[in-house]
Structure 1
Amino acid sequence: MILYPTIELQNGHCVSLTRGDLDQPMIWHVDPVEKAKEFVASGAEWLQVTDFDAIVGDDQNAGIVEEIISTSGGNVQVAGGIRTQEQVERWIEKGAGRVVIGTLATQDPELVKSLAMAFPDQVVLAVDVWEDRVMTEGWKTKSGLEPSSFIKAYEGTPFAAIQLTDIASDVSDTEASLGLLTALSSETKTPVIASGMVRNVDDLSRLNYVGNIQGAVVGRALFRKTIDLKDAFAATMPQTEPTAQFI
């Protein structure tokens, strides 16, 4: 399982949000570029950078994201406000390993499928779920789309992964979210990235037992230090059964 340490940006700062509330961010007083380098130095092969300002059409963090891509030493998955073909192409040209698309996938499925075909293994489909519906516009708008049907409509599209977020898990217990994740991941052949449900090492250990989980996004827990990155990497390693020794 691949761990995706995550840097979330707003107004040039590293932040964390609760249920995507842009008006009440928790600000972390660290340099986002240096934090990205720290994650890579600790063993991260992939990072996710989520730009909350881009969700509302503000590109003030673009320079920071570009610097992380060019200097961190890791592969960067860019998320937040990517809603046009031009934005997808721009970030890939800038060196992003992957781009995450959510709202656009609910608005223009044919365009998203064509982008996934043009950039195989570089487009991630974001499926953010609240009360059994896919949410859009940075979790602000509930669509009429049921997540299972939404995922099935994209079956066969060459996405790098599907990133699943149960928004309820952002503030409540993760057990119900694990059930949702298990059910949805079993309905697709595309690898799944779990998002929004990792608070500690035990959560990562539980994810190891869910089929078709390729990775997990971890953000706020790293900044709050409820999880140590090296311990997190150890928890994502394949578990081996003890082997009997015969003489």
Structure 2
Amino acid sequence: MIIYPTMELQNGHCVTLDRGRLDAPMIWHVDPVETARGFAAAGAQWMHLTDFDAVEGGGGNAELVEEIIRAAGIPVQLGGGMRSREVAERWIDKGAGRIVIGTWAAQDPEAVKELAKYHPDQIVLSVDVWQGQVMTEGWRTASALTPEGYIEAFGDAPFAGIVITDVDSDMEEVEAQLGLIAGLADKARAPVIASGVVRNADDIARLKYIPDIAGVLVGRALFRKTLDLAEALAVAQPGPEPVAEFQ
């Protein structure tokens, strides 16, 4: 299972959100570029980066995002404001390893399927769920789509992954989140990346034994220091296979 240390940006700062509330972020006074380099130094294979200013239509973090992509030392899976092919491909050209698409996929699924075919292994579908519905517009608008039907509608589109977030739950309701994400992972044909379900190393230990979950985003726990990234990476490694003994 791949651990994606996760950074979320708002107004140039690293932040974390409670239940997707963009209006009430927790600000972390750390250097975003140095933090990204720290992810690589700890041994991460990938990092995940979300630009909340871009989610709201702004471009104030663009230079910082470019600097992180250049300096991180590992591939960056980038989300936030990817609402056209032009924007997605611009960030691919700037070096983003993968592009995460949410709202645009709900608005124009055929265009996103086509983009995934043109950029195999570089497009990730984001599925944000609130009270049984897929959310768009930065978790502010409920669609008429169920997450099960939404994922099935994309069929065999060659996504690099599907990030699934239960926006309605919080970190005290991990069991409910795991149940939702595990159920959706069973229906998905692309690798599923769980989001918002890690508080500590024990949560990672449970996740790696859930079928069809290929990765997990880990952000808030790293910033709160309830989890060390090197420890998370070690726990996520597969255990030794049993070896038959011959007499």
TM-score of the two chains, using structure 1 as the length reference: 0.97
Aligned length: 247
Q: 5+ residue gaps in structure 1?
A: none
Counterpart residue number, 1:130: 130
Deviation by residue 1:159-214 (Cα, 9 ceiling, x = unmatched): 00011111133343111111111111111221100011111111111111111111
In the alignment, structure 2 segments of 5+ residues that lack a partner are: none
- In the alignment, the residues of structure 2 paired with residue 188 and residue 142 of structure 1 have an alpha-carbon distance, to the nearest angstrom, of 21
Q: Distance in 1 between matches of 2:159 and 2:244?
A: 41
Query: What is the match of residue 66 of structure 2?
Result: 66
In the alignment, what sits opposite 2:3?
3
Q: Would the aligned equivalents of 1:133 and 1:143 in 2 still touch at CA under 8 Å?
A: yes
Matched with 1:49 is 49
Secondary structure of 2:169's partner? helix
Correspondence for 2:222: 222
Q: 1:242 deviation in Å? A: 4.9
Q: Percent identity?
A: 59
Contact persistence 1:19–1:171 (CA under 8 A): no
Distance in 1 (alpha carbons) for counterparts of 2:92 and 2:236: 28
Q: How does 1:162-181 map to 2 (within 5 A)?
A: 162-181=162-181
Q: Look up the SS of the partner of 1:168 in the other structure.
A: coil
With normalisation by structure 2, the TM-score equals 0.97
Give me the CA root mean square deviation.
1.2
Asked whether the 8 Å contact 1:168–1:177 carries over to 2, the reply is: no
Alignment pair present for 1:187 and 2:223: no
Deviations 1:28-49 (A, max 9, x none): 1111001000010100110111
> Which residue pairs with 1:18 in the alignment?
18
Please say if residues 16 and 25 of structure 2, whose CA atoms lie closer than 8 Å, have aligned partners that are also in contact: yes
**Amino acid in structure 1 at the alignment position of 2:191:** P
Runs of 4+ in 1 over 2 A off after TM superposition: 168-172, 240-247
> What's the CA shift string for 1:135-181, capped at 9, x where partnerless?
11111111110000000000100100011111133343111111111
Asked if 1 retains the 8 angstrom alpha-carbon contact of 2:171 and 2:197, the reply is: no
**What residue is the counterpart of 1:148 in the other structure?**
148
Q: 1:186 to 1:205 in 2, by over 3 A?
A: same
Q: Shift of residue 234 of structure 1?
A: 1.1
In structure 1, what residue type is equivalent to 2:93? E
The match for 1:108 is 108
Q: Is the 8 A contact 2:88 2:99 kept in 1?
A: yes
Q: Secondary structure at the match of 1:169?
A: coil
Q: Superposed, which structure 2 residues align to 1:29-48 within 5 Å?
A: 29-48=29-48
Distance 1:217 1:45 in 2: 12
